[in-house]
Chains A and B, each alone.
Chain A
Amino acid sequence: MNSPEVLKRTALFELHRQAGAKIVPFAGYAMPVHYAHGIIREHLHTREKAGLFDVSHMGQIRVCGPDAAQLLETLMPVDIVSLPRGRQKYGLLLNASGGIIDDLMVTRTGQEDYLLVVNAARKDFDLNHIRARLPDSLEVEMQADQSLLALQGPRCARVMEKLGHDLSNMRFMQAQQLKLAGVPCWLSRSGYTGEDGFEISVDDNHAAEIAACLLKDDDVQWVGLGARDSLRLEAGLCLYGHDITEHTTPIEASLLWAVSKARRTGGPRPGGFVGDDIVLAQIPRNVAKRLVGFSPAGRALIRPGAVIEDMAGRAIGQVTSGGFSPSLGRPVCMGYAVVGQCSEHNRLNAVVRDKRLPVAVTKLPFVSPNYYHGPAVNQGRQTRKQT
C-alpha cells in the first residue's frame, strides 16, 4: 500500500514512531492509525481519561481584514457577524447546489481575525475556493507552520489544571490564547470525539515540547486516527467525504442546526451565501433523503457502502459510516435513507455479502456527548449514563 509519492510528515512524526505507532498514508500525510495499545483501548482511554491526537494534517486558514465576518458569511450559512471574540462555531462551505465543500470550525481570534480549521483532504481546495470568492482586501493564509493537537476526554481539564491553568470558566466552543509550558498556544474547548477537551494550535517548533509536556501526565496517552474515527462515529459526528460530500446538502445531512437562524428565511440576514436558494428551500425537511443512525441487530459489522433496503427489498439508502463501537461493544452505523423511512425504530435491512442484516433507525448520537457547559451546569453530571 506504500504510495510512490512522498508522504508529508507532521512535526510530531518522530514522537509517533517512538511511541510505537502504526503509520499509514492519510490525505497525503504519514499518520498514526494506532499505537501499541490498539484502537479499542485507545478509544476507551479517551472516554475514561484523556487521549492526545496529532491532527496537524488538518488545515488552519487565517482570514483577516476589513469586513471579514460579513465576507465569510457569503460562503457559509452561519452567523459569523455576531460571533464574539474567543468563540467558535461549526461551519459549512457550500457550493452553488447547496452541496457541502467542507465542514470546519471557525474561531474569532481577533477584531477582524478568524481561524478556520478545515479537513486535511480539502484544505488546498478550500483555500482556493475562499480566495477566489473573497476580495484581495482580505488576507487568506494557510498557517502551514502550525501544528494542531487535540486533547480529548473527561480528565482533560484536570490535566490543564495540573499545568497551572484553571479553565473552569472556559466553556465548550470557547477559545483563548494561552501560554502552555511557556509556549504561546491557541486553545479551543472543542473536538471531534463527543468528549470534553481542547484543541491546541501551536507552532511546529514547539509542538513536540507541548506533546511531551501533556504526555507526562499519567492520564494522557497517544490516540491514533483509528480511534478518532470510532469516537466521532459514536458521537454521531459527520466525516467529510463519507457522510457529507459535495452531493449532500446540510439539510439532507441532518445539519439544520448548523444553518444559523440569523441566516434562514425570516432571520435578520437571510440567505446571501453560496447555495442559499437550495438550502433555504429545503428547510425544515423538504428533502428526499436524510442522514440517520442505524443500529444493527446482530454482531456483524456494517461498513460504508452497504445498501439499505426496506422490508420489501427495495434499495432505499446507503451506509456512509459504520464500524464497531468500543463503548457499546457492538456495531453501529449511519447513512442515508429516503425520508419516509427515517422514523425512529423503523426496521430495515443492510445488505452485507449478499445477506440481509436487520437494522433499526436510531437517533444520533449513539453515545451522548460530555461537553463542558460551565461550572454550575456540569456539577453532578460528570458521570455518563452507561449503556
Chain B
Amino acid sequence: MSTRYTDDHEWAREEDDLIVVGITDYAQQQLGEVVFVELPDIDRVLEQGEEAAVIESVKAAGEVKSPVSGTVVAVNQALEDAPEKINEDPSGTGWIYKIKPADSVWLTDLMDEGAYQSLVESLA
C-alpha cells in the first residue's frame, strides 16, 4: 500500500486494480479552508497531468492534475456536502476520485514519500 506523489502535491495510492487520488496535507494547508470541490465525471478519460478536479478555498481555486492516465471510475460524493474533509483528512476521507489506470501506468514513476518530504521541506 505505497503512496506516491507528484510535484503538484497530489497523492496516488494503489487500491486493488485502481488508483485513488487526493491532494497532500501541504496542498490543503496552502489552499486554506476548502468550500467547494468540482469532481470529474465518471468514465472521463484523463491523461496524466490533465486537470481532473477543481478545489475552491475561501482564498483561491486550485487544480487537481491527474497523477496518472486512465478512466475515472468513482468520485468522492461526500465532498459535495462536506468539502472540508479535504482539510480535515486529505489522505483519507478527503480522497477525490478513483481511476482505472491505463496499461502503460507505472506508479513508481512518481515520487516516493521520502522524495516528496524533501520537496515540501525545500518549499518551507
Q: Which residues of A contact B (CB under 8 A)?
A: 33-34, 38-40, 226, 230, 299-301, 303, 323-324, 326, 331, 353
Contact = CB atoms under 8 A, between A and B. Distances in A.
Interface in B42-86: 54, 56, 58-59, 61, 80
B59 A39 contact: yes
B9 to A, nearest CB: 16
Contacts of B36: 299-301, 324, 331
A39 B33 contact: yes
Contact of B58 (A299, A300, A323, A353): A323
Given A33-B59, A226-B58, A301 B35 contact: yes
Interface residues of B, number: 11
Contact of A34 (B32, B54, B56, B80): B32
Contacts of B61: 301, 303
B56 A40 contact: no
Nearest to A227: B58
A35 B36 CA distance: 22
Nearest to A301: B56
Q: Which 6 A-B pairs have the closest CB atoms?
A: A324-B35, A39-B58, A301-B56, A40-B33, A299-B36, A324-B58
Contacts of A324: 35-36, 56, 58
Contacts of B35: 299, 301, 324, 331
A353 B59 contact: no
B56 A300 contact: yes
B38 interface: yes
Contacts of A299: 35-36, 80
A230 B58 contact: yes
A300 B36 CA distance: 6
23 contacts: A33-B59, A38-B58, A39-B32, A39-B58, A39-B59, A40-B33, A230-B58, A299-B35, A299-B36, A299-B80, A300-B38, A301-B35, A301-B36, A303-B61, A323-B58, A324-B36, A324-B56, A324-B58, A326-B58, A331-B35, A331-B36, A353-B38, A353-B54
B116 to A, nearest CB: 22
Nearest to A43: B58
A66 B35 CA distance: 54
Contacts of B80: 299
Nearest to A355: B38
B4 to A, nearest CB: 27
A40 B58 contact: yes
B25 to A, nearest CB: 15
B17 to A, nearest CB: 31
Contacts of A226: 58-59
Nearest to A41: B33
Given A38-B33, A226-B58, 15 more contacts: A34-B32, A38-B58, A39-B58, A40-B33, A226-B59, A230-B58, A299-B35, A299-B80, A301-B35, A301-B36, A301-B61, A323-B58, A324-B56, A331-B36, A353-B54
Contacts of B54: 353
A242 to B, nearest CB: 16
Nearest to A330: B35
A54 B33 CA distance: 22
Contacts of A230: 58
Nearest to B83: A299
A58 to B, nearest CB: 22
